[in-house]
Structure 1
Amino acid sequence: MSVDFVVATPHDAVEFNDVYRNVTGSAGYLACNNIYNRVVLNEWYEVNPFPDLATHWEQLDGSRRWRFHLNKAARWQDGTPLTAHDIVYTHLHAKKMGYQGGMFLRDVETIVAVDDHTVDYHLHTPNAGFLVLLGNFIFAHILPRHLYEGTDWATNPHNLNPVGSGPFRLAEWIPGEHIILEAVKNHWGPQPEIDRIILKIVADRDECARMIARGEAHFAPQDTVTRDRLGLVEGVPGVEVLKRRGPGMALLDFNHGRELWQDQRVREAVAHAVNRDEIAELGDPGVSQAWDHYLIGSSWAFNADAKAPRFDPERARTLLDEAGVTADSSGVRGRLSMFYMDTFHGHKPIAEMISRQLGAVGFETTFAGLSSVDWSRQVRDQHDFDLIIVGGSMAPDPEITATKYSSGGQNNMCMHRNADVDAAYLAARNAGTRAERREHYRELQNVWARDTEWVPLFWYGTYYPRSEKFFGWADQLGFSIPWWHWGRMRPVA
């Protein structure tokens, strides 16, 4: 009898090539992580990498060159051997074209295939945190060169009919209904012990939870079952709800490309308008809480002294007056647009609160959720916004934040330009030990706090309702795989 592993998720796929563009949180995002492989693997809660395509690696030339030795058995699902040339092509082309897969390759000067099973990443500058960039995110996947080279990635038919190297292949996609992945027989890596992954597209998050309670689904991904839905799954026989502090925070960021936010007094005023006592009502003791620090407290680089300005609306009004942002006859200082990505449903109540709190100091603020595709277009590409509520993934290594906050970072959607921030990142990359890197990251947090580069709001938690019929979740395997990878899942007898 075949074994199906069923995931209930509210967001359908767009395509199956996250190296080209990232549609975070979609069913395609989940599917890709089981269709493709990366060079190395990282999970949020483990800073050290684990093998994937690479069996082992070397840190050379003072962290300026990284050599990876590949599994010689690796093959594409069409039978073609996977080689170092696939890795060279995928990441160099993504970097050249500015695609999502190049986001964390900014320090890469070139990538060289030493032979078919050895690849060197040559960096412009030493980077002691480079491994986490290769392993931590789904868009570091490797694509088949023989199916993509010489094509336009935007129209390549394999975006919809993927050929990966992972333990599952795409069997069926009926948009709006489901995605079915089938186990690859005689897979070159660990052989899956489940026959199919079925991603059921269910827009109603309450129904996703009820499906798990009824035994019709075995898992729901992050931000599907939120605190207010726990009653639908807690205490249900055969269902475990894993609760833990999240790997990052929800934060408020400014469009630094707009003149209004280039005055530090205005950014500080907004920070003083934020009332975390109200935000704290969304918290869950031991799981999530209102947060005013610039890294999460579990980070090895956490600086307890770097804090956002405290709630003080009178001080906010004074700063705005000093900056010339004065109120009109109706008491309005300005009209602002604020967005969040609707995939992350927990950001909506935070956006509602921030809108009200900014209203108390004179800003008339509208807010709306955007789909991941619209977010990519309007926020990341066009910078058409005043403020965003966004997740800041700060684990397991602060190096991954550089793409958002350093000048020229590919994911610098808020157009940050701060020489002291850039200097702190560079110093941390060049540091030889983690203790030395910690000191530079502590200074980075000091700069963020000093200049109110952005405003921390909420250290979020994660709730994973999951069936006790399966074993092989990330926490059960020492975080050697990401939570969205199910190739090691097996039924419990």
Structure 2
Amino acid sequence: MQARRLKAALALAASAALAVGAAGCAKSERDGGDSGEAKTGGTFVFAGAGDPKNFDPIFNDDGESFRPVRQMFDTLITHKPGTAELEGGLAESWDHDAEGKVWTFKLRQGVKFHDGTPFNAAAVCYNFDRWYNMKGAAAQSQMIYYMDVFGGFAKNDSPDAGKSIYNKCEAKDDGTAVLTLNQYKGAFPGAFALTSLSIASPDALKKYDADTVKQNGDSFEYSAFANEHPVGTGPFIFGGWDKAKGEITLNRNPDYWGDKAKVDKLIIKIIKDENTRKQELRAGTVQGIDFPAPADRKALEGEGFNVINRPAFNILYLGINQKNPKLKDLRVRQAIAYALNRQQLVQTKGPGGTKVADQFMPDTVLGYAPDVQKYDYNPEKAKQLLKEAGAENLTLNFYYPTDVSRPYMPNPQEIFTVLANDLGAVGIKVNGVARPWNGGYKDDVQQFGKQDLHILGWTGDYNDPGNFVGTFFGRAKTEFGDAAMTEMFDAIAKADGTVDEAGKKAAWEQVNRDIAAKWLPAVPIWHAPPAIVVTKNVKGLVASPLTDERFNTVSVS
């Protein structure tokens, strides 16, 4: 059957990451995965590195927001713990027609939302229809994942949005939801596991005005649902966000359909300073931290902490905003690439196992092209290109985030400093602009495009080239500032819509070659394996290559 071949081809895209993911899983299990013998109850306190934006899944795209969201909400499809392999979530099984346009989900029975309302096919369709019909500020408030996956809304308010591939969702019966797309897209079925596409209670969405989003200057205000009453089906229930104390409290859901949480309470304590996070870990006031600095890992292991290294399924890049006319010249962008001593950066600032990146996805992802044009460190070549372009006296505003550590970017200020020095060495003057991660940096960079250069990155959500290259460069984005790169957008859309596996692989390889040689909207920097650390009395944590940890398996003895 063609449909079966299509499903097999899609599954192959994930297989390359499974061995990688299994390594993280095996490490976790050796270090205490046998949680059945551990004490249950009590409280697990985990240190977050930054404030979440809010708790409405569709309005988020960053790890600090997703960490609490993942504990409260479920998706139709999820990943087997410790891997990038897909398995059933709220849907026990799924299938599609031969063209990959009609997706049928057989749903779990007896599942309830935290407010007691039943989970069923009508609830699934309500969520998909809600996303599709977003308008006004809600449709523009950085709904990055929805736009990247579906392409547009029923009525687009933004010129950046195109025609949505979403057509309709039908509840055939309580246990069967049928989603119809206008065209095949390579993101599926993996995209159904996106945290952004978590299923929320329709009653709560309506009761707490979830779609009421207001824009005030450079920022957005979200609803009571997003900030005070998030309601999903997950193993933890929202217990409050004390912004003054910087604590998010989640309580055990005794009626969870899956493996119930082993702790009674989960607290995510926001500690923005890295040294303070380490101090509280050592003092025992928190039992887990994420993304420790590379230099700290061996010391923490020596002190008896469990340091779990995840495989690198990510990318750090230097973004180039072509809103600046000087940066529209390919020679200038190539000069920037040649100016960066990325190998030295890897050796001095990267975690162990970090590798220089030459394209915008790991080599385990389908479509990786080993023969792309590479930009090895060559400051003389950089100076020559700047001279040819008439840009010898270039001054650029270089934005970088504060108060955050990301899996691909453990210390943004140190990375900025090294890259800025490299640029200065070839005659590019850099004005550094430091902005807080949420409520500053991301808005300035992705929403308003105030920067010339910036550092940002990505941890893959599922193993498909569209989740990396397509997310970054599949459509016009303020972050890169050139809506005229239609050749690139069209090439990515064609690759993403190729059903045949061999054809899809070849199309994505050519996209990667052309991004490096013809378009260069950004410079890939590195792939860095992030770590997560817990105290020795914490058992059952399963580290994820997608940084997609679920804390219902965790116990504290």
- Calculate the TM-score normalised by the size of structure 1: 0.88
> Which secondary structure state, in structure 1, belongs to the residue aligned with residue 529 of structure 2?
strand
Q: 2:150 aligns with which of 99, 105, 114?
A: 105
Partner of 1:246: 312
For residues 413 and 148 of structure 1, do their structure 2 counterparts lie closer, same or farther at Cα, with a shift above 3 Å needed?
farther
- Letter of the aligned partner of 2:498 in structure 1? A
Partner of 2:18: none
Per-residue deviation, 1:405: 0.3
Matched-pair contact (CA < 8 Å) for 1:351–1:389? yes
- Once the two structures are superposed, what CA deviation does each residue of 1:422-459 show, in whole Å capped at 9, x if it has no partner? 34433433333544422222111101111223211121
2:118 paired residue number? 81
Separation in structure 2 between the aligned mates of residue 422 and residue 310 of structure 1, nearest angstrom: 27
Change (3 A) 1:286 1:359: closer
* Whole-angstrom CA distance in 1 between matches of 2:357 and 2:309: 18
1:298 aligns with 2:298: no
Give the alignment of 1:220-369 within 5 angstroms. 220-221=289-290, 223=291, 225-237=292-304, 239-282=305-348, 286-326=352-392, 333-342=393-402, 343=404, 344=406, 345-367=410-432, 368-369=434-435
1:12 paired to 2:51: yes
Question: Relative to structure 1, is the Cα distance of residues 42 and 388 closer, same or farther in structure 2, using a 3 angstrom cutoff?
Answer: farther
Q: Structure 2 vs 1, CA of residues 284 and 454 (structure 1 numbering), >3 Å: closer, same or farther? A: closer
8 Å contact kept, 1:474–1:481? no
CA distance in 1, matches of 2:114, 2:346: 48
Counterpart pick for 1:437 among 497, 500, 504: 504
In the other structure, the counterpart of 1:370 is 436
Q: Partners of 1:193 and 1:489 in 2: how far apart?
A: 6
Q: Please state how far the C-alpha of 1:44 moved relative to its aligned partner.
A: 10
Q: Distance in 2 between matches of 1:140 and 1:313?
A: 44
Bigger drift between 278-287 and 50-59 goes to 278-287
Query: Aligned-pair distance for 1:322?
Result: 1.8
Q: Which amino acid aligns with 2:77?
A: V
Counterpart residue number, 1:486: 551
Q: Distance in 2 between matches of 1:29 and 1:194?
A: 20
Q: 1:45 to 1:417 in 2, by over 3 A?
A: farther
C-alpha distance in 1 between matches for 2:416 and 2:423: 10
Give the aligned partner of residue 455 of structure 2: 389
CA positional deviation for 1:283: 5.1
Distance 2:483 2:552 in 1: 39
Q: Is contact 1:406–1:412 with CA below 8 Å preserved after alignment?
A: no
Q: Is the 8 A contact 1:42 1:480 kept in 2?
A: no
Aligned residues: 476
The reply to whether residue 162 of structure 1 matches residue 230 of structure 2 is yes
Q: Which residue does the alignment assign to 1:138?
A: 195
Listed one character per residue, the Cα deviations across residues 247-277 of structure 1 (whole Å, up to 9, x for unaligned) are 1121111113332222111111111111124
State the alpha-carbon separation in 2 of the partners of residues 318 and 146 from structure 1: 62
Unaligned 5+ residue runs, structure 2?
1-39, 152-163, 214-221
Aligned 8 A contact 2:349 2:414 in 1: no
Q: Which residue of 1 aligns with 2:92?
A: 55
Q: Secondary structure at the match of 2:532?
A: strand
C-alpha distance in 2 between matches for 1:72 and 1:54: 9
Which of 431, 444, 467 is the matching residue for 1:400?
Answer: 467
Counterpart among 250, 258, 273 of residue 189 in structure 1: 258
* C-alpha displacement of 1:139: 1.7
The equivalent residue for 2:178 is 120
Letter paired with 2:150:
L
Confirm whether residue 2 of structure 1 aligns to residue 29 of structure 2.
no
Q: Which shifted more, 379-388 or 341-350? A: 341-350
Partner of 1:69: 106
CA displacement 1:384-441 (0-9 Å, x = unmatched): 11111111335622111313201246x8654465344334433433333544422222
Q: What is the rounded CA distance, in whole Å, between the counterparts of 1:102 and 1:171 in structure 2?
A: 27
Shift of 1:46: 4.1
- 1:335 offset after TM fit, Å? 1.7
Cα 1:44/1:347, change in 2 over 3 Å: farther
For 2:376 and 2:81, locate their aligned partners in 1 and report how far apart those are by CA, in whole Å.
29
Q: How far, CA to CA, are the matches of 2:114 and 2:343 in structure 1? A: 53
Q: Structure 2 vs 1, CA of residues 261 and 122 (structure 1 numbering), >3 Å: closer, same or farther?
A: farther
Whole-angstrom CA distance in 2 between matches of 1:95 and 1:354: 40
Give the Å deviation of 1:338. 1.6
Closer, same or farther: CA 473–424 of 1 in aligned 2, 3 Å: farther
Instruction: Return the structure number with greater helix share.
Output: 2
3-state DSSP class of the match of 1:190? coil
The structural deviation recorded for 1:291 is 2.9
Instruction: Tell me how far apart the structure 2 counterparts of residues 201 and 280 of structure 1 sit (CA, whole Å).
Output: 28
| Cα 1:227/1:187, change in 2 over 3 Å | same
> Do the aligned residues in 2 keep the contact of 1:89 with 1:149 (CA within 8 Å)?
no
- Matches of 1:45 and 1:125, distance apart in 2: 32
CA contact (8 A) 1:282 1:289 kept: no
In the aligned structure 2, how far is the partner of 1:372 from the partner of 1:307? 34
2:246 aligned residue = 177
Tell me, in whole angstroms, the C-alpha distance in 1 between the residues paired with 2:293 and 2:480: 27
- 1:206 aligns to what SS in structure 2? helix
Which whole-Å CA distance do the structure 2 matches of 1:47 and 1:229 have between them? 27
Q: Which runs of 5+ in 1 are unaligned?
A: 327-332
Residue 201 (1) aligns with residue 266 (2): no
What is the match of residue 27 of structure 2? none
Q: Which residue of 2 aligns with 1:330?
A: none
User: What is the rounded CA distance, in whole Å, between the counterparts of 1:29 and 1:163 in structure 2?
Assistant: 14
Contact 1:57–1:69 (CA under 8 A) maintained in structure 2: yes
1:157 CA drift (Å):
1.7
Q: Does 1:33 align with 2:70?
A: yes
The one-letter code matched in structure 1 to 2:427 is G
Aligned partner of 2:180: which letter?
A: H
SS at match of 1:122: strand
Over residues 115-155 of structure 1, what are the superposed CA-to-partner deviations in whole Å (9 max), with x where a residue is unaligned? 333223322321233122221x3222222222224834335
Normalised to the residue count of structure 2, the TM-score between the two structures is: 0.78
Structure 1 position 112, deviation (Å) = 1.0
The reply to whether residue 457 of structure 1 matches residue 515 of structure 2 is: no
In the aligned structure 1, how far is the partner of 2:316 from the partner of 2:415?
8
Deviations 1:144-180 (A, max 9, x none): 2222248343353222222221111122332133222
Change (3 A) 1:412 1:146: farther
Give the whole-Å Cα distance in 2 for the aligned partners of 1:469 and 1:455: 42
CA root-mean-square deviation: 2.8
CA displacement, residues 347-406 of structure 1 (integer Å, 9 cap, x when unaligned): 322211121111122221122243222234211211111111111335622111313201
The amino acid across from 2:512 in the alignment is Q
